[in-house]
Amino acid sequence: MHCEMILDEYREKLPVFKKLKEVVMDSVRNCLNENNILVSGLDSRIKSEKSLTGKLELKGYKYRTLSDITDILGVRIITFFSDEVDIISALAEQLFEIDWENSVDKRKMLEIDRFGYMSLHYICRVPQSLFYDPAMPELNQTRFELQMRSTLQHVWANMYHDMGYKSDVEIPVEYQRNMSRLAGMLELADEQFSHIRKEINTYRRKVQSLVASGNFDEVPLNGDTFRSFVALHPFKRLTDKIAAINQAEIYEDSLMPYYNVLRNLNMKTIGDIVRMRNEYSEYAFQLALIQLAGTGLDILANSVALQNLCIVYILKQGFGEAGLLRLFNALYGENDYNKDRAKRIYGQAKQINII
């Protein structure tokens, strides 16, 4: 009988839960955007009447009224890394009122020799400072559950749930050991991913300061160092000089496609690129001059400078027309145009004594 009353209350309060879901999801999305946090997943659900009926049949004795059930609205945030769960929870604490008595950190509930469900569950309310509608004041009194877990924690929980279990005590004892081993492996992987990411971030900061210091011969050429180097606009002077031929506007485009080209040209350090720039800028300009003068073309991509430097470098290394063809094939994929272009540029290079 009292379960029927709870179900009646549920039906009556459904519009409140729908509005609450909207408010919570909007607030969480805005908060993540404002803090530049990318998450692997964000979803929500309102418990269906069928599911609530099932819950009441099993554990109805625990609840006096609907407000005793705190997961009618459930929101889940899935982070990429396990250490981001703490960042998200700190933001949730700023955003919502947390019912600490009923919130659980399942990550800390496991014994030291146990592995299993790891997730942080907060029971929350929306404070009036975040949202208040005088026509629906009960919204601020209604609790909801916010689950926060990493992608791998989510994988484990999903697999477990998919096998028909809700907690590890339910699983037959003969399978518990294997499930624990699997949970332990995922926990370790989670920890390693976070660790590797921290190390990569430290490496990137180190590389940025090394590049900024100008000791280019000490900086190995890789994707990170090239990106940091390009951010210093190392070809700007040459680009501006080329643009001045026709008073052209410069369109900024990514120079990252040239990373593999430079690797294929056997450049090992950022210092090698700097040497190429210092030695061949004049030739690269002369090549642009012969191509652009008199055309009236007054828009250029910023890649022209590096493109011409690579062309001059290839020719100076004696790779000839075949080397140019390899360059264009690497940049644009193999196509019929590249051969004509290699031949044309080879001719222009001869005209201005690059070769």
Partner 1 sequence: MDIKITQQENKTIVVLNGRIDTSNADQFQQDMTPLMEGENPDIEIDCTDMSYTSSQGLRIFLMLQKSVMARGGKMVMRNMNPQVKEVFDITGFSNIITIL
Q: Which of 70, 153, 281, 302 binds partner 1 (CB under 8 A)?
A: 302
Among 22, 199, 298, 334, binds partner 1 (CB under 8 A): 298
The interface region with partner 1, picked from 46-54, 152-160, 268-276, 286-294 by CB under 8 A, is: 286-294
**Cβ count near 146 (within 10 Å):** 25
In the complex with partner 1, the residue whose CB is nearer, 267 or 304, is 304
Q: Which residue has the tokens 């940091």?
A: 228
Site string for partner 1, 312-331 (x = CB under 8 A): -------------------x
Site string for partner 1, 185-214 (x = CB under 8 A): ------------------------------
Q: Is 348 exposed, middle or buried (0-12, 13-18, 19+ CB in 10 A)?
A: middle
Distance in Å, CB of 331 to partner 1, minimum: 7
Contacts of 40 (CB under 8 A, 6+ apart): 78, 79, 80, 151, 154
Which structure tokens are listed for 324? 């140019």
Regarding 304 and contact with partner 1 (CB under 8 A), the answer is yes
Q: How many residues bind partner 1 (CB under 8 A)?
A: 25
Euclidean distance between CA atoms 70 and 7, whole angstroms: 14
Report the nearest approach of partner 1 to the CB of residue 266 (Å).
22
- Give the footprint of partner 1 on residues 31-70 (CB under 8 A): none
Q: Among 28, 73, 126, 288, which residue sits at the site for partner 1 (rule: CB under 8 A)?
A: 288
Q: Hey, what are 47's tokens?
A: 């418990």
User: Would you state the structure tokens that stand for residue 171, as one six-digit string?
Assistant: 């699983």
Which of 203/332 has CB closer to partner 1? Answer: 332
**Which of 208, 269, 291, 329 contacts partner 1 by CB under 8 A?**
291
Tell whether residue 251 is a contact of partner 1 (CB under 8 A).
yes
How far apart (Å, rounded) are the C-alpha atoms in residues 295 and 289?
A: 10
Residue 104: strand pairing partners: 121
Alpha-carbon dihedral angle through residues 132, 135, 136, 138, given to the nearest 10 degrees:
90
| Longest pairwise C-alpha distance within the chain | 97
Position 238 contacts partner 1 (CB under 8 A): no
37 residue type, one letter: I
Task: Identify whether the C-beta of residue 69 lies closer than 8 Å to the C-beta of residue 51.
Answer: no
340 lines the binding site for partner 1 (CB under 8 A): yes
Catalog residues that contact partner 1 under the rule CB under 8 A: 248, 251, 253, 257, 288, 291-292, 295-304, 307, 331-332, 335, 337, 340-341, 344
